Amino acid sequence: MGRLFGTDGVRGVANADLTAELALGLSVAAAHVLAEAGTFEGHRPVAVVGRDPRASGEFLEAAVVAGLASAGVDVLRVGVLPTPAVAYLTGALGADLGVMLSASHNAMPDNGIKFFARGGHKLADELEDRIEQTYRAHASGEPWDRPTGAGVGRVRDYDQGFDNYVAHLIGVLPNRLDGLKVVIDGAHGAASRVSPEAFSRAGAEVVTIGTEPDGLNINLECGSTHLDKLRAAVVEHSADLGVAHDGDADRCLAVDSKGNEVDGDQILAVLALAMREAGSLRKNTVVATVMSNLGFKLAMEREGVDLVQTAVGDRYVLEEMKSNGFALGGEQSGHVIVLDHATTGDGTLTGLMLAARVAATGRSLAELVGVMERLPQILINVRDVDKSRVGASRELADAVNAAERELGSTGRVLLRSSGTEPLVRVMVEAADIEQARTVAQRLADVVKTELG
């Protein structure tokens, strides 16, 4: 059996891979591991539990709450809220643990469990490993030490979470959004209420799409992975910009007034310059991953902003930021972390700050993102292959080396196994889009042949 925890918690098909029994067991294990680590020492432990609108989140939430309460943890159930809201509330309420049930941008049948430590930060790899080891030990028959009587956890709904989180978002904005018209695509997900409310309270005129979740339509041809409807809506309503979230709203992509996509790299570039102007870009540095477009790196060099690159995954961006005191980081996919105001990627906050920059400067979003030229980049997801063998195939390594020689200094190649899905990503950048497409397809074919 492989490792349960990926780069972003535990994910799988709900009720097949991710069962109620697994959710309950992991929750009990998390409570015991954190108790042993001294997190609960001297007080009665409290956990914040939230979820996205997926139908499976209803029974998985029940399982997680039951597991925590059975282990003696009091539970504040905040209902459907974005992942960053659960992280924020975990910190703001002084909770010992946060749990979010979501599979983010994945299709509706999937779901996931993500744990947050005290303060709203993601659990360290070492703690995740211990939780998994503890779960496996007890799943094989070792009995739990369970409290009884008054020692069991109590459960209550915390209905103030929505307003508390929205007030936090408005409170950290550098300026209001009066005069802007913004289209918001909530992906029929966790931000369907939060994001429109926050933008409206900040002064924007808001048009919404993808904000009617029914438990089955999350991410369905909408949100940050499907921008066509947002593009059309922005043009139709003559909006200044559009903002798209994913299912749990830890991401934000945007479109300008003409319907052109604005990705995470471009958003980072705009926010980096805004924060430097405001004096909040600590150490004059932005953190991004190796997947960032080469055009972003060149733009930051030209603007005199230092760039630090990490492995792919917002947890690695966050680790680098926390270790070295950096204030801004993110991924091309739209995970943007503003560490002064959030402990994880926050799609609503990112969209608000991007809109605030448009409002403050009086410049269009298209003009602001013109600071960087996005070089042609082709990304192919190769499915149904053994992603664990990416680094072990000599033939694949030779193919990558040949591609790099062909591209020279005007492009680059990156192969990586997905941390959240069963696939290998092939990314090729080149000055010419056709060359990038040809090289990427050739490498994808080799991946399929060698790892299939």
Other residues' Cβ atoms within 10 Å of the Cβ of residue 114: 25
User: Residue 156 carries which DSSP code?
Assistant: E
Has residue 109 got a pLDDT over 90? yes
How far apart are alpha carbons 189 and 252 in whole angstroms?
A: 13
- Say whether 3 sits in a helix, a strand or coil: coil
> What pLDDT was estimated at residue 443?
95
Q: Six-digit token pair at 290?
A: 């190796």
Are the C-beta atoms of 245 and 267 separated by less than 8 Å? Answer: no
Domains (range + CATH), the chain? 5-159 (3.40.120.10), 163-369 (3.40.120.10), 377-451 (3.30.310.50)
The binding site for Mg(2+) consists of 104, 246, 248, 250
Average pLDDT over residues 397-425: 85
Which backbone phi and psi does 347 adopt, to 5 degrees? Answer: -65, -40
Task: Tell me the per-residue pLDDT of 133-187, one tens digit each, with 9 for 90 and over.
Answer: 999 999 888 889 999 999 999 999 999 999 999 999 999 999 999 999 999 999 9
Cα dihedral angle (165, 171, 173, 179), rounded to 10 degrees? Answer: 90
Considering only 174-178, 355-359, 386-390, 444-448, which range has the smallest mean pLDDT? 386-390
Has residue 422 got a pLDDT over 80? no
Q: Which residues contact 80 (CB under 8 A, 6 or more apart)?
A: 50, 51, 52, 53, 57, 190, 193, 213
Pairing between β-strand 97-101 and β-strand 253-256 as defined by DSSP bridges = unpaired
| Cα Rg, the chain, nearest whole Å | 22
Other residues' Cβ atoms within 10 Å of the Cβ of residue 176: 16
Average pLDDT over residues 200-224: 98
How far apart are alpha carbons 291 and 286 in whole angstroms?
A: 14
How far apart are alpha carbons 348 and 368 in whole angstroms?
A: 19
- Say whether 143 sits in a helix, a strand or coil: coil
Active-site annotation, residues? 104
